[in-house]
Amino acid sequence: MATARLTDRLIRNLKTDKTQEDFYDENFSGGSFAVRVSKHGRRSFVLFYRVNGRKRRMTLGVYPVLGLADARARARQIIGDVSRGQDPAGVSQSETRTFADLAELYLERHARVKKKASSCREDERILGTYLLPVWASRKVTDITRPEIIQLLDAIAFKRQAPVMANRVKALVHTIFRFAMRKAYVPDDFLNPCVEIDPLVDEQSRDRVLTDGEVRTLWKELSARKEPTASIYRLILLTAQRPGEVKQMRWEYVEGDLWTIPAAIVKNGRQHLVPLSSQALEILEQLRPLTGRSEWVFPSSTGGSIRWLQKTSQRLHQKVGFHFRPHDLRRTAATGMGRLGVDEIIIARVLNHSWVDRNMTAVYNRYNRLPEMYDALSTWGHRVEVITKVTSQGLEDRLQ
């Protein structure tokens, strides 16, 4: 039996060659609290205890959706119930299930089965960022409509993220509907999200930065911290989705070609992106800073950088205009169009699925990499002309 002093850093690095292996927390008393690691890298918290001589096991949640501190607190609560003669694993789950329990069931039996990998990861991020820190140990049936409204208002107004508040509300509503369909809540349970209005009316965005805005932003990025600043640069130069740029690994780049694996692409299809000389220059200047990491844009807490909201807000204040990282992708596509690039080639660069639906099978087998390279090289040169900024500022910050 493997034991360890569990920490977040240790849990992130745990691996096993077995189908699954339990690593017990040597500092936990009163029961056996462990993290269960599968050979595929999945990590979940489990608790073992005995009632009347019978061994019980409860899965508390999946890491990092459920954090270590919250998992320990949940385990201690269960051990306390056991000491008072209760058997949490034997009581009706529709009455005692916590939001953390329900979230794990939702991910395992709905999101990971019916959603794309990228959508599932976004659900996990929203749960870990906004919902589990507040409701992890709460009984599902105790969460009220006013509480949900209060949480959404905090996201919309205190965090200044009304669109994200809409996303959180939609996910909570979906999770409660899932619980009702699966009978994980009592028959008389009412979804507390019903009748809660969206925090902001959303419309399809068509924001394209002007040449002057591109120049101002590029200049401001030269004064920002790396490697985060170059995420914005590469979105603009490659026209790829922000989430795909943030998850770039050094191993994905070979010569002047960046391969984006199907697992992280929105449409689930591997994508090849030719890199212009301007994009390659940025990567080469980042290599001394992050080249020892597997990630081009590593996070200080592990993995890759995943969140740009605060950085974008600070940029908005400095440059005097609002934009989203995705607007840089749209700006690149529009810019290539203005330079005379065929819309089919632009769609290939953007990895839009409609191209394959409208082209013949023979055409599909020709991925147009040379034309894509010409398009991105032409656009990269245009960005260089617009910004009239050398790479010296970036080089100075990497010394």
Range among 14-18, 293-297, 393-397 with highest mean pLDDT value: 293-297
Which of 84, 40, 77, 85 is CA-nearest to residue 58?
Answer: 77
- Supply 98's token pair: 């916590």
- pLDDT of res. 31: 63
CB 196 within 8 A of CB 155: no
Where exactly does CATH 3.30.160.390 map onto the chain?
A: 2-91
> ω before 227 within 30° of 0 (cis)?
yes
pLDDT tens, residue by residue, 363-381? 444 568 999 999 999 999 9
Where exactly does CATH 1.10.150 map onto the chain?
A: 100-181
Residue 13 clears pLDDT 50, i.e. is over it: yes
- pLDDT of res. 267: 75
User: Which residue stretches of the chain are H helix?
Assistant: 8-13, 68-83, 93-96, 99-106, 112-114, 117-126, 132-135, 145-153, 162-181, 211-221, 228-238, 242-246, 277-290, 309-319, 325-338, 343-350, 354-358, 361-364, 369-387, 392-397
Pairing of strands 253-254, 20-25: unpaired
- pLDDT of res. 303: 86
Rounded-to-integer distance, Cα 298 and Cα 309, Å: 16
pLDDT tens, residue by residue, 46-102? 898 888 777 888 888 888 878 898 888 888 888 888 888 776 665 445 545 789 889
- pLDDT of res. 96: 52
For residue 316, what are the contacts with CB-CB under 8 A and spacing of at least 6?
322, 323
Q: What is the pTM of this model?
A: 0.55
- Supply 324's token pair: 């989203």
CA angle 59, 62, 63 (to 5 degrees): 130
Side-by-side strand order, sheet with 20-25: 2-4, 20-25, 32-38, 43-51, 54-63
Distance of alpha carbon 160 from the chain centroid: 19
Q: Specify the CATH superfamily of domain 2-91.
A: Integrase, DNA-binding domain (3.30.160.390)
As a whole number, mean pLDDT of residues 380-388 equals: 93
Which of 351, 335, 347 is CA-nearest to residue 383?
Answer: 335
Which H helix or E strand runs over 61? strand 54-63
Residue 284 pLDDT class (50, 70, 90 cuts):
very high
Got the DSSP string for 348-395? HHHT-THHHHHS-HHHHT---HHHHHHHHHHHHHHHHHHH---THHHH
- pLDDT of res. 289: 94
- Top pLDDT among 358 and 282 is at 282
pLDDT tens, residue by residue, 295-342? 999 998 888 998 788 888 889 989 999 898 999 999 999 999 999 999
pLDDT tens, residue by residue, 188-212? 788 999 888 877 765 556 889 999 9
- Top pLDDT among 283 and 196 is at 283
Q: What is the CATH number of domain 100-181?
A: 1.10.150
CB 277 within 8 A of CB 285: no
Three-state DSSP state, 179: helix
Residue 157 pLDDT class (50, 70, 90 cuts):
confident
Three-state DSSP state, 105: helix
CB 100 within 8 A of CB 74: yes
Rounded-to-integer distance, Cα 62 and Cα 44, Å: 4
CB 226 within 8 A of CB 179: no
For domain 211-397, is the CATH number 1.20.140.10? no
- Supply 310's token pair: 């605060």
- Phi-psi domain of 374 (left: phi exceeds 0; alpha: psi -120 through 50; beta: other): alpha
Separation in Å, CA 258 to CA 252, 274, 387? 6, 6, 24
Q: What is the 3-state secondary structure (H, E, C) of 88-101?
A: HHHCCHHHHCEHHH
